[in-house]
Structure 1
């Protein structure tokens, strides 16, 4: 009985603890965790992986040998004791087509090259998805920081309005001056609302890219925008792009596929004989024989497929050159954007942000002590808001530029 009463007393506490655990927010995700989650849950990536397996199954078909064919026939077969037509005649045989020109080996080469090409295309899709996730992740970090700054600015300015209210009540300032100060509060409130909306939209976009079917309201990420810029050289980045980019590999593998197609076209132009072994039974006689069929390739020697395959091969070689050139151009453009973003972020970090904060604090102190004008104070306040947001934007642009470099070289540049 005591155990039952204890259970009844503990049940509400257990239920409350369980509800609290259910309502607790999920731990914030890092960028590597978000990428790993997407690799396991993004339906497009999972679909591409299944497609690779489907293409790989074609290697089994390509490696199959020709099946033998069993033939049989009977003639002058009479059902009954007497056979006025003569002895029964039966035949049975096995025939098989023998491929020449190493057709099976070339088919296997073509199937394996096609599998490698398809897998490189899958990796390229993953590269594009990773880049989109990194962009969305950075935008969410930016939205979080922008919301924090907006809320800090709003809180700080509300304190200023409260202090100005005290001065107004004491008769130390006019109603018009107070109204002008209070009207600035609308801008801070609008900044906060817009930042909160941007954060919600960035969260939804990131979760969608990760493969989350229904975005969660408590989804959060963790990271820093002001990451140290790595030391990079243009030549190293170019070489990495040529060595690792999956679209460059896919273009190279397309050449291998077309080379195998050329070999297969020539192999299909060779003659394949069909050999048959035959057994015959006629009355009391049993005989054996064979049959050999050799097609005469007088007119059709697969000339059209040979020409088509050769032109496709030359086309893929030119496409490979174009892809390599595009990879170099992507690296050059991304490197220029990275250098520009790095310089802009450094200017705000090392100079303009501290300068705007110092000017705002000095003019606020001067105005509160009757040594500055309201117009100067409001202008400094507006400048600080603008510079603060521009500094965050510069940091976000720098991180996006690094992600772009990672994308065009298919390497992880950020630690």
Structure 2
């Protein structure tokens, strides 16, 4: 789609956003152009999602590959949920709603100077690109987008239609019901040695993987992942073909059985003649679900460990268990606690309260100091 045609398509919705949310139409249009590549991005084509907003919209989403970086600089490639909108209009309205809901964008709302508005968006942390404001300004000036601003907005109904209210993020697993239940009825109940199974997302296909040598990463922040390489043979074609991103791996660990991991990356190696192998990377359900969800509100006050965990895990399928008396955990004076994805917030809690976590699927055990059983061989 030509740039001019794309802008004409966005303009009515952006003007409705200005009228309802008091955010400049020129800013909204410029962001839509920049973030979606003038409507050429896969996300805008598949989901009418112009601004890369994660989560679900009325239960609708698409899965897209993205890279997440933790505070230590470790990058994990995951499939994340991005909101799927019926049309551009809902995507535009959702951005306007976001700016009015979050206090960090208060300088954007009501600003009439587009240069100050683009600077305010960048300062509030919308993008890490230091050239973000100048890129937006360039688009606004090149296409004269300020003509869509102004007190009088023609051809816009007095009462713009109310956008559908975004729902809370949904999760790929519906298995957790507030108690420990079997994650997959097809898994063996008696475990005599470490086993690994691969399953489709719906659980209809379940196959054991034999001969995989795992490199398991497990630390006291609760995050767990592993990698392994599997060579295709005449006997393992079914499980080999099931090793694709998004499918599920169930691993029997030394402490917990049937731990649920999502396949997040596959590297296919065909460099040798007549040899096919896959290198598989999988991340635990705790990491995958919490990295795809965000706490939008900020809190500044003294918080107990229980209050902090309640904020970080609200509206998720996870529960936590304190393995010491509440009085033994510190109370911390928090300043601006929130506005992060939930895994980042859990990492902050680990640091601020000096705790250690051990995770059994959807149950998080919280320790002051965790005892470890070491298997000396």
TM over 0.5: no
Larger Rg: 1
Give the helix-richer structure, 1 or 2.
1
Of structures 1 and 2, the one scoring higher in RCO (CA 8 A, sep 6+) is: 1
Q: TM (normalized to structure 2)?
A: 0.23
Give the strand-richer structure, 1 or 2.
2
